[in-house]
Amino acid sequence: MPHTMADELALMEDPKKAAVTKGILTAGQVLDKLPVENVNALETEGFRWKSLPSVSFNLPNENYTEGTGKIESIAWGVVRIGHDIDIDRIYDKTSHFVKPKTLYTEQTLEAINFTINDSLLNGDKAANPRGFDGFKKISSGLPARQVVDASLAKYGGTGTVLDISAGGASSAIRQGFFDALLRAKRVAEGSQPDLAIMNENVLDLFDSMLRREGLYKVNEDQFEREVTSWKKISFVDAGYKDPDGNALILADDHDVPGNTALGTSIYFLKLDAKRHCGLIQLQSIDTREMGELQSGPKSRTRVDWVLGPVVWGKRSLVRLRAIKVA
């Protein structure tokens, strides 16, 4: 049944595996929010509605007319991500304030988190056949109404972007941005997405707007980290690709890379790994000791995870695009 990786972590009996899982999850604020479904195949097929059957009101003794609804098949696959951590055995005999194995393991876990989060938003199998398509690519194949254009005049946009850089001080900009957010919320399944993913610059401005409007609300996630909440939606930072925090996963030029004037996006997800958005995995994160290498006096630890994103419903994912913050 669907669960989160944080749920798995709470039940893990192997302390090493638990430490690795926690290290991957806490390196960002996206992975731990996504529900996960265990599968037993490299590709999982499902079905979604293409058209509804025709129904009718009938008088007594009338028959119903055949009007079969149509469905379409959709398949999502899993890919492998991981790393071999090789440590010279000489360090087993030395004393360090931070053990090299601990240091290299933490680096590996952070790199896995950054890479998965980046792929969840920006992944494109055409560019990297070993990876998976991310939400930007997936949203391009959804019905047109699932991509909301914030640059429209009714949201205060210019026809090219909605510039919210002064949203902390401008009431008109705040109200226009809230209107665009409400439209994105409206077109989601049930008009109630669960999670919104944005970059830190958008999140900073959004927090400022909420405070000025008296709407600011903060909850805590499973790891006691603060999460902004509005209209029952959790808003989280997509994070960055590098340890210095210079390369944002959802960059300010996300919509058209290389042109910040055309803005970035926010992704809204309805969470349910069986019916909406989430992850599938062959098994939980695997970590194991491989022993000493024959090629030299080094011990190897392997971290391995086979997973992939799913977006089952046509209204499970919404993209709000053309938001300018810089």
| Residue 33 DSSP symbol | G
Exposed / middle / buried, residue 238 (Cβ in 10 Å: 0-12, 13-18, 19+)? buried
Per-residue pLDDT of the chain (326 residues; tens, 9 = 90+): 668 888 888 888 888 788 888 888 888 889 999 999 999 999 999 988 888 898 889 999 988 887 888 989 999 999 999 999 999 988 877 776 678 888 888 899 999 999 999 999 999 999 999 999 999 999 999 999 999 999 999 999 999 999 999 877 789 999 999 999 999 999 999 999 999 999 999 999 999 999 999 999 999 888 888 999 999 999 999 999 888 888 999 999 999 999 888 899 999 999 999 999 999 999 888 888 999 999 999 999 999 999 999 999 999 999 999 999 97
Tokens of 191: 């008009």
Contacts with 125 (C-beta within 8 Å, 6 or more apart), sequence order = 131, 132, 133, 137
- Locate the domains of the chain by residue range: 3-49+73-132+275-311, 135-270+314-324
Query: Hey, how many other C-beta atoms are within 10 angstroms of the C-beta on 152?
Result: 17
Q: Is 119 helix (H, G, I), strand (E, B) or coil?
A: helix
Q: Do domains 3-49+73-132+275-311 and 135-270+314-324 have the same CATH topology?
A: no
Structurally, what CATH architecture does the domain formed by 135-270+314-324 represent? Answer: 2-Layer Sandwich (3.30)
**Structure pTM?**
0.93
Q: Into which CATH architecture does domain 3-49+73-132+275-311 fall?
A: 2-Layer Sandwich (3.30)
Integer CA distances (angstroms), 258 to 48, 133, 181, in order:
36, 21, 25
Ranges of beta strands (E only) in 144-261 are 147-149, 162-163, 195-198, 218-220, 226-230, 233-237
